[in-house]
Amino acid sequence: MTNDNRKPDMRYLELLSRDYPTIESAASEMINIAAMRSLPKGTEYFFSDLHGEYASFLRLLRSASGMIKSKIDLIFEKSIPSSERTRLAILIYYPEREIKELKQGGRLDDEWRSITIYRLIQVCESVSAKYTRADVRSKMPPGFEYILDELLNVTDDINREYYYSEIIDSILATGIAEEFIIAVCDTIRSLTIDRLHIIGDIFDRGPRADKILDELMTFRHIDIEWGNHDISWMGAAAGNTALIANVIRIALGYNSYDVLEDGYGLNLRPLSVLAAEIYEDDPCTHFYPHTLDDVVYDNVDLSLTAKMHKAIAVIQFKLEGQLLREHPEYRMDDRRLFEKTDFRRGVISIDGVEYPLRDTNFPTVDPDDPLKLSEEEAELVRILQSSFHHSQKLNTHVKFLFARGSMYKCCNGNLLYHGCIPMNEDGTLRDIRLPFSDTPAPLHGKALLDRIGKAVNRAYFGVWESAEQKEALDYLWYLWCGPDSPLYGKNKMAFFERTLIGKKAAGVHAEERYEPYYHLNNSEEVCGRILAEFGLCPTAGHIINGHVPVIACDGESPIKAGGRLFVIDGGISKAYQIKTGIAGYTLIYDSHSLRLAQHKPYDGQDETITPDVSIVEKMDRRVNIADTDYGAELDLRLAELRCLLDCYRDGSILEK
Asked whether residue 322 falls in the same domain as residue 380, the answer is: yes
Dihedral Cα 593, 598, 603, 607, nearest 10 deg: -30
Residues 364 and 250 in one domain: yes
- The answer to whether residues 364 and 236 belong to one domain is yes
Is 80 exceeded by the pLDDT of residue 81? yes
Selection from 446, 450, 383, 468 nearest residue 460 by Cα: 468
Co-location of 366 and 237 in the same domain: yes
Of 140, 163, 192, the residue at which a domain comes to its end is: 192
Parallel, antiparallel or unpaired: strands 565-567 and 542-545: parallel
Confidence of residue 7 (pLDDT cuts 50, 70, 90): very low
Q: 70 and 27: one domain? A: no
Type of residue at 243: L
| Domain co-membership, 132 together with 19 | no
DSSP structure string for 134-160: HHHHHTSPTT-HHHHHHHHT---STTH
**Does residue 560 fall inside a structural domain?**
no
For residue 591, is it within any domain? no
Give the three-state DSSP class for 585. Answer: strand
Domain count, the chain: 3
Residue 222 confidence (pLDDT) = 97
- pLDDT score of 405 more than 90: yes
Residue 370: inside a domain, yes or no?
A: yes
188 in a structural domain: yes
For 247, left (φ over 0), alpha (ψ -120 to 50), or beta? alpha
pLDDT tens digits, residue range 378-396?
999 999 999 999 999 999 9
The count of other CB atoms within 10 Å of the CB of residue 19 is: 11
Cα separations in angstroms, 471 against 141, 329, 401, 561, 612: 45, 12, 21, 38, 46
Is pLDDT above 70 for 1?
no
Tens of pLDDT along 97-148? 999 999 998 888 999 999 999 999 999 999 998 888 888 888 888 888 788 8
d(Cα 227, Cα 211) in Å, to the nearest integer? 18
> 188 and 32 in contact (C-beta within 8 Å)?
no
Contact 195, 222 (CB under 8 A): yes
Taking the CA atoms of 515, 600, 75 and 145 in sequence, report the sign of the dihedral they define: positive
**What is the per-residue pLDDT for 29?**
95
Decide if 91 is inside a domain: yes
Decide if 172 is inside a domain: yes
Out of 192, 215, 244, a domain closes at: 192
Residue 317 is assigned to a structural domain of this protein: yes
* CA dist., res. 66 & res. 51, Å (int): 21
End-to-end CA distance of the chain: 27
Of 497, 511, 513, 491, the residue nearest 355 (C-alpha): 497
User: Is residue 198 pLDDT above 50, yes or no?
Assistant: yes
Read off the pTM: 0.92
H/E stretch holding 162: helix 160-173
- Do 69 and 35 share a structural domain? no
In a domain, 88, yes or no: yes
Q: Do 115 and 238 sit in the same domain of this protein?
A: no
**DSSP state, 500?**
I
Query: What are the tens digits of pLDDT across the range 462-521?
Result: 998 899 999 999 999 999 999 999 999 999 999 999 999 999 999 989 999 999 999 999
Q: Which domain holds residue 325?
A: 229-345+358-390
Q: What pLDDT is stored for residue 3 in this prediction?
A: 43
pLDDT in tens, 600-653: 887 666 777 778 889 999 999 999 999 999 999 999 999 999 999 999 999 999
CA–CA distance from 343 to each of 38, 66, 360, 385, 485 (Å)? Answer: 71, 55, 7, 28, 31
Q: Are 48 and 200 in contact (CB under 8 A)?
A: yes
> Given a cut of 50, is residue 5 above it in pLDDT?
no
Mean pLDDT of 314-343: 97
